[in-house]
Structure 1
């Protein structure tokens, strides 16, 4: 199998894991805040460690500090700009303790962020249009978060950094599960079948990551030495996601200690994986 085929298969598997996040929706499982907050903390720790050990340090080995840091700021600020342009919607089951968001009356608590946070843009109306819009907003956010990671994975494979690319694929797959869960909740509430929920959830991670990985792979053909900037870009975007989305979402429910402990476990887990891959 050549390098491109390997990259394509790995990116496809990592993206498809997003569909795993839809499984609890099939059973309308009631996930406690403690468990969910800890899961977010675990994923956040993995992403921060991956940003440093899987992207920034390898990027500095392949290029200059300036190139990597330029990518970090570019990725981070573009992610923040995208968050500003695309309002975020977070759907949660009724089985969880209320968090002060809008209650649409059908078992979901909806929090809205961005320019429409004041209530002018998204009304909690129990109809198909509001549910579909919710799903589209979350889907857009997932695309925004997934594309930089796929880009870095494609560039890593094309640059011959197979260990880095494999590490990124593991991290991407792990974090895609909670992304899929966040997407599947509002999609499932539109009344479509469980099978279609699974397909749409899987595609929400699969398409952006594979597409970005392919773009990243071929970018190397046109611009040698692009990995340091691309690695910094992905690291900056991932760190922005962690501090803008994941850490705030895992705190404020009374389980900050559990989320913090899970963060440390996630960070250590990634370091161990990185060390094992380096052996």
Structure 2
């Protein structure tokens, strides 16, 4: 479990590595990256987390977990100030410290449900599920790391510092994975709730954040193909490892 959660967390740093080589990314490519990660997350929820939760319980338990996960993320979005690197104008802004804090805080908070989903998945009886979810989270963390590093560089932060800040946002996933694993591993009845909670939280991020962001600048057609590409890749991974 530690290895899986570490891989998914450090994928953020891996995704941010290209920022050391360049500091520009086309808006179309950024939108496609967001849509690609949305496809990965939807597939992980629909074909791994939710089916596993249904196998361990019933539809009412799963619906309850989905709604709780959605509600918790909604409250986090509403009451915790956050900012989106994809929306920001990529020019110098004097309020660097505040902007940096908001970006790092937002990405860190969004990584909590992802880490929980990894930990809960490892607590189940199916050994493959934990690895699949860890891989899915890692695949979507890589573009996320690149986007936040790109934003920070365009705020006149050095490339090395931007890389380190981006890598830092993924580290919370390890602690969240440990928490999710501990709670569900010792209280078996919590596993289906935990799996469906994680799915609800991830689907909230997809529908509230990733898809609207990828469709906001006239790149809907390219983003749609990227979404299907992410979905197809994740389906292939699930088929190979299960």
Instruction: Give yes or no for TM over 0.5.
Output: yes
Distance 1:170 1:105, change over 3 A: closer
SS at match of 1:151: helix
Q: Is 2:43 the partner of 1:78? A: no
For the pair shown, the structure with the greater C-alpha radius of gyration is: 1
Gaps of 5+ in 2: none
1:10–1:169 Cα contact (<8 Å) kept: yes
- Give 2:182's aligned residue: 218
SS at match of 2:84: strand
More helix by share: 2
Gaps of 5+ in 1: 1-6, 93-100, 107-125
Instruction: Quote how far apart the aligned CAs of 1:193 are.
Output: 4.3
User: What's the TM-score, normalizing by structure 2?
Assistant: 0.91
Q: How does 1:1-279 map to 2 (within 5 A)?
A: 7-91=1-85, 103=89, 105-106=91-92, 126-127=93-94, 130-188=95-153, 193-206=158-171, 208-278=172-242
Query: Alpha-carbon deviations, 1:163-182, whole Å to 9, x = none?
Result: 11111111111111222123
Cα distance in 1 for partners of 2:70, 2:226 equals 24
- The ranges of structure 1 where at least 4 consecutive aligned residues each deviate by more than 4 angstroms after the TM superposition are 101-105, 189-193
2:104–2:165 Cα contact (<8 Å) kept: no
* CA RMSD after TM alignment: 2.1
Query: Alpha-carbon deviations, 1:145-170, whole Å to 9, x = none?
Result: 21112112112212232211111111
Instruction: Quote how far apart the aligned CAs of 1:52 are.
Output: 0.9
Cα distance in 1 for partners of 2:6, 2:220 equals 34
Distance 1:68 1:102, change over 3 A: closer
Number of positions where the alignment pairs a residue of Structure 1 with one of Structure 2? 242
More strand by share: 1
Deviates more, 1:217-226 or 1:63-72: 217-226
User: What's the TM-score, normalizing by structure 1?
Assistant: 0.79
